[in-house]
Chains A and B, each alone.
Chain A
Amino acid sequence: MAVAHPLDKYLRTDRIPTMWCPGCGLGIVMGTLLRAVDRRIKEGSLKRENVGFAGGIGCTARMTLYPLFDSAHVIHGRAIPFALAVKIVKPEMKMIVVGGDGDLAAIGGNHILHAIRRNADLLVVMVNNMIYGMTGGQVAPTTPRGLYTTTTPYGNPEREMNMIKLTAALGANYVARGSITHPQLLEQYLYKALGKRGLAFVEVISTCPELFGRHIGFRSPVDLYMEIRKRIVIKAKPSIEESDYSWEKGFVIGEFVDRDEPGFTDTIYEYLNKIRGGGVQ
């Protein structure tokens, strides 16, 4: 069989094309993520059968439908506890949680909070398109203030939620923000994140041309893409304070946190071994 694309070996090709709209940023995210996984597998630091995906509900969570790995498409907001349990039972697994800003920052907010507090060994990729896409363009906690959404028809009166600041504050081992407008950088962050123990959080600024772009006056996906690209500020070592964003100020991308505290799984197995070493079978 002729290989149409170098990533086909990692895809359920019988499910392509994806359900995503033309011009959606999610294809770039998935491609970038799979390239990062491919680099890890090729260099031998990750085994293919040990890679697992989990997502809740939303366009981003649907990313779990396509990779040819163990994969779970669960319920809205709850991919993190699912993935964490898999990791605890099978510590050799590398669990990747993919979710949108609604899935992870809103309904799943409590879980991400405590996963970071535990420094759970997960790679959490939060795609931030600043809107609820799948349900039709409602406001998200990440929607910039002032913008139109279908549930804030007079403009969004709420402050933007900055997940970089939250994850950094709670002690994640790795915190980065990338953008689909800069896929090479994003791939670097994801590659690095895949090698981390503890919790790695990568936010990806992305585009929803149908339900974000069009609603705020960008007629085509390219217009929205160019607009976002214009608002991206690349920094090598940005401070946490610089992660605050607004539509006017734009979005600083880069690596905000990179540390190496022990992960949750190592810690609980250390405890378990101590308990079992006590001579109790």
Chain B
Amino acid sequence: MRVDYITGNTAIAEAAIVAGLKFYAGYPITPSSDIFEYLARELPKHGGHVIQFEDEIASINAVIGASWACAKAMTATSGPGFSLMLEAISLAVITETPLVIAYVMRTGPSTGVPTRAGQYDVLQATYGFHGGLVIPVLAASTPQEAYDLTVKAFNVSEMLRTPVVLLTDATIAHTYGKVIMRERGELEIIERIRPLTPPDKYKPYEPVKEHVPAMACFGDGYNVLVESLTHDERGYYAPRTDVQRKLMWRLYRKIVDSAPKLFDYSAIGLEGCDYAFISYGSTALSAQVAAKMLREKGYRVGTLKLRTLYPIYEDGIRKLVSSAKKVFVIENNVGLYYRELRAILRDKEVVSVPIIDLDLPQPQEIVEVVKQWL
């Protein structure tokens, strides 16, 4: 265990090394680039490769290739770069390729304010790629969470053979914090399931555990097939409804059914509360302070900070805020994740508190908006 004073971006890079990262491909983009620079300096010392590709498209496709050579692989980017990666994320979904994307959000749309924060891409992170499935999205609000959730992101990607998005923003990226870094041996590190069958019996897309197939890699002698077309368990193209249905439901279920296992949050004062604040990422810090200010004024306000945004664990969230009469969803965008929560908290009044701020929404501003509803 080490203790250090580092930024959110450095925490991601440090945790990735501990998780076993062996291949990083990237293209510079503010505010994610210092993850790249840090790894370029440190990862080779651990036998890993860091390569700057010609664009984000090459980067994510290289990450997919490296993962199929059985290296744990990642990239980091921001909105414009993530947009370029979307087609390949869809490839990673259908080929069930484990990989991690650190998505450091910045003010958008388009070039926006590259150095400043926002949470505009929370829906894009999971719904952006074509094909209508879901990928896990974890959201950090402090350097410590960035560290812990990076390890978790790798574990989830290996366990479920899926791309995983670790979501932060420009604020967290450059916020310093005390980070207690647990190391290998002190942490659970999950590795993908490797085939136990001989090569002639191996089917690259046949589920062996909870919808997840075993993964053989290039060079293992298994004649693997990485197939972007709709495929059967052998990886053979099969343009048939029965094959498509089976594949779609398996890819959907393996993520969605894991929701309880992936659920990660912190709750303050939710038991017996009248009002619940739900938030995530950097804005959760503002929401927690705002709730404290209201509690000091005598209101019974609890906070739920979500660290797992997708898959959504509906029962878990419902139970946590069950005593609240009103739920406020506080985020630094036009009110995006609010739509998700409104859909699952149908028996409650759910109020969107969208506060657009280039940095953190000010707690005082949250209090002023929310007070009209108390």
Whether A and B touch directly in their complex, counting CB atoms under 8 A apart, is answered as: yes
Residues of A near any B CB (own CB < 8 A) = 15, 49-50, 52, 54, 57, 65, 68-75, 78, 80-86, 88-90, 92-93, 110-111, 113-114, 268, 271-272, 275-276, 278, 280-281
Q: A75-B88, A85-B66, A271-B44 are in contact. Are A114 and B58 (CB under 8 A)?
A: yes
Q: Could you mark each residue 228-257 of chain B with 1 if its beta carbon is under 8 Å from any beta carbon of chain A, else 0?
A: 110000001100000000000000000000
Are B65 and A81 within 8 A (Cβ)? yes
B2 within 8 A of A: no
For residue B76, CB closer than 8 A to chain A, the reply is no
| Chain A CB within 8 A of B344 CB | no
Query: Which residues of A sit under 8 angstroms from B57, Cβ to Cβ?
Result: 78, 81, 110
Interface of A (DSSP majority class): helix
Interface residues of B (CB under 8 A from A): 22-23, 25, 44-47, 49, 51, 53-55, 57-59, 61-66, 68-71, 73, 87-88, 90-91, 218-229, 236-237
Name the A residues within 8 Å of B68 (CB-CB).
72, 82, 86
New contact pairs (12) apart from A71-B225, A75-B91, A86-B218, CB-CB < 8 Å = A71-B226, A73-B225, A78-B58, A81-B58, A81-B59, A82-B65, A85-B63, A86-B68, A88-B49, A272-B49, A278-B45, A280-B45
Closest 7 CB pairs of A and B: A85-B65, A72-B226, A82-B65, A89-B69, A85-B62, A85-B66, A81-B61
**How many Å lie between the Cα of A49 and that of B88 in the bound state?**
26
CA distance A197 to B55 in the complex (A): 25
Q: Which of A70, A72, A276 has a CB less than 8 Å from the CB of B44?
A: A276
- Contact, CB under 8 Å: B221 / A49: yes
Residues of chain B contacted by A68 (CB below 8 angstroms):
223
B residues within 8 A CB of A110? 54-55, 57-58
Specify the chain A residue showing the minimal Cβ separation from B216: A70
Majority SS of interface residues in chain B?
mixed
Given A85-B23, A85-B69, A281-B45, verify A73-B226 contact (CB < 8 Å): yes
Whether A111 and B58, one on each chain, are in contact in the complex, defined by CB atoms closer than 8 angstroms, is yes
Q: Which residue on chain B has the smallest CB distance to residue A52?
A: B218
Assuming the contacts A70-B223, A78-B57, A81-B65, asked whether A89 and B71 have C-beta atoms less than 8 A apart, the reply is yes
> Known contacts being A70-B223, A89-B49, is A114 close to B54, with CB within 8 Å?
yes
Query: Across the interface, do A89 and B228 meet the contact criterion of CB distance under 8 Å?
Result: no
Contact yes or no, B236 A70, CB < 8 A: no
Measured CB to CB, the nearest residue on chain A to B237 is: A65
A82 CA to B227 CA in the complex, in Å?
A: 13
Q: What are 16 of the A-B contact pairs (CB < 8 Å)? A: A73-B228, A75-B228, A78-B58, A81-B25, A85-B65, A85-B69, A86-B66, A86-B68, A88-B51, A93-B218, A110-B54, A111-B54, A114-B58, A276-B45, A278-B45, A281-B46
Report the minimal beta-carbon distance from A178 to chain B, rounded to whole angstroms. Answer: 27
Chain B CB within 10 Å, residue with most, of A74, A83, A111: A74
One of B46, B61, B66, B218 near A70 (C-beta < 8 A) = B218
Instruction: Judge whether B25 and A85 touch: CB under 8 Å.
Output: yes
The reply to whether B58 and A275 form a contact with Cβ atoms under 8 Å apart is no
Contact A73-B65, Cβ < 8 Å, known A89-B22, A111-B54, A276-B45:
no
Chain A CB within 10 A, most for which of B61, B87, B218: B218
